[in-house]
Amino acid sequence: MKKENVLITGCGGMLGLAVYDAFKEKYQNVVATDIDLNESWLSELDVRDIVQCEKIFNEVKPSIVVHLAALTDLEYCEMNQHDAWRTNALGTENVTLLAERYGATMVYISTAGIFDGEKDEYTDFDKPNPLSYYGKSKYHGEQFVERFSSKHYIFRAGWMMGGGVKKDKKFINKIFDQIFKGSTELKVVDDKLGTPTYTKDFAKAIVRIIDSGYFGLYNQVCGGSCSRFDVAEEFVKLLDLADKVKVTKVDSDYFKKEYFAPRPYSEKLINLKLNTRNINYMRHWKECLEEYAKEYHKLYHGKI
């Protein structure tokens, strides 16, 4: 066990659980924080509040800071741009400045959503051009970390899957929710491409990579790529519901009222740097989804 102090922000969300578990396995003192205190092991920290940030940094004196806190709902960010800037951009500035003051290694989680989707796929070296306010505010965070943190890692994730029924706010849980409520036909877009990113693989990989001392920015997504339709179809199959639930292709226009934030056509990332340095610990998305689907299968099968 390592004796260093680790401070995690935004740890109550869908990635937080996996990150907390992965760090607890290796580090003796892990302090997990969030504004939403949905677990007994979370302490309060609002990253927008520099005074609160100073207080917690002074208490924990971290040598590693894992900054997860963010507003991740794209529609909310479009409609509440100031809050998106205050949380995703200024919150990251606050945490980065204090990490630097305490000589800590800064770990920032970015997103494939900083690209415009004009290319089919993106390496770590492609130039971002975010379309949405979520993407813009997260890209500001990347740039600030790169500029003001002397020891940092930036990991860009794709379509996150993980956290289970309680915490997963994204695609898999939304699909499952529809099935659980009795839908026998799912309408799913096939004109959005990306790379799923399993929270457990992602978190474990971070713990391994920050030991390497190879600081910098990394795309870190699962192997393979797909459309939303491919993910939904695979998930339904893994739940053994292929004969009960039909997955029908639609285009993004079908959801344009509900999902009005601009989204790139392709958010496919390639882990070029991780592969070349031989430190790519991410499995193929289908293998990860098979593991993740078991959580849903176990909890709900037979009730559908």
Ligand X SMILES: NC(=O)c1ccc[n+]([C@@H]2O[C@H](COP(=O)([O-])OP(=O)(O)OC[C@H]3O[C@@H](n4cnc5c(N)ncnc54)[C@H](OP(=O)(O)O)[C@@H]3O)[C@@H](O)[C@H]2O)c1
Pick out residues in 16-45 that bind ligand X (CB under 6 A): 16, 34-36, 45
The residue among 72 and 132 lying less far from ligand X, judged by its C-beta, is 72
62: alpha, beta or left? (left if phi > 0; alpha if psi -120 to 50): beta
- Burial (CB < 10 A; 0-12, 13-18, 19+), residue 258, is exposed
Looking from the CA of 210 toward its CB, the CA atoms found within 13 Å total 27
CA 210, distance to chain mean position in Å, is 17
- Provide the mask over 76-95, with x wherever binding to ligand X is found by CB under 6 A and - wherever it is not: -----------x---x----
Q: How far is the CB of 198 from ligand X (least distance, A)?
A: 11
Taking CB under 6 A as the rule, does residue 15 contact ligand X? yes
Is residue 105 a contact partner of residue 65, using CB atoms and an 8 Å limit? yes
Taking CB under 6 A as the rule, does residue 138 contact ligand X? yes
DSSP state of 104: P
The residue among 68 and 245 lying less far from ligand X, judged by its C-beta, is 68
SS3 153: strand
Binding segment toward ligand X, per CB under 6 A, in 68-76, 187-195, 242-250, 276-284: 68-76
Pairwise CA distance, residues 95 & 110, whole Å: 15
Residue 114 has which token pair?
Answer: 């900083």
The residue among 35 and 50 lying less far from ligand X, judged by its C-beta, is 35
Among 24, 26, 48, 151, binds ligand X (CB under 6 A): 48
The residue among 43 and 252 lying less far from ligand X, judged by its C-beta, is 43
Pick out residues in 105-124 that bind ligand X (CB under 6 A): 109, 111
The residue among 34 and 190 lying less far from ligand X, judged by its C-beta, is 34
Is residue 148 a contact partner of residue 156, using CB atoms and an 8 Å limit? no
Q: Give me the count of residues in the chain.
A: 304
β-partners of residue 66 are: 8, 107
Taking CB under 6 A as the rule, does residue 61 contact ligand X? no
Binding site for ligand X (CB under 6 A): 9-10, 12-16, 34-36, 45-48, 68-72, 87, 91, 109, 111, 138, 157, 159-160, 169-170
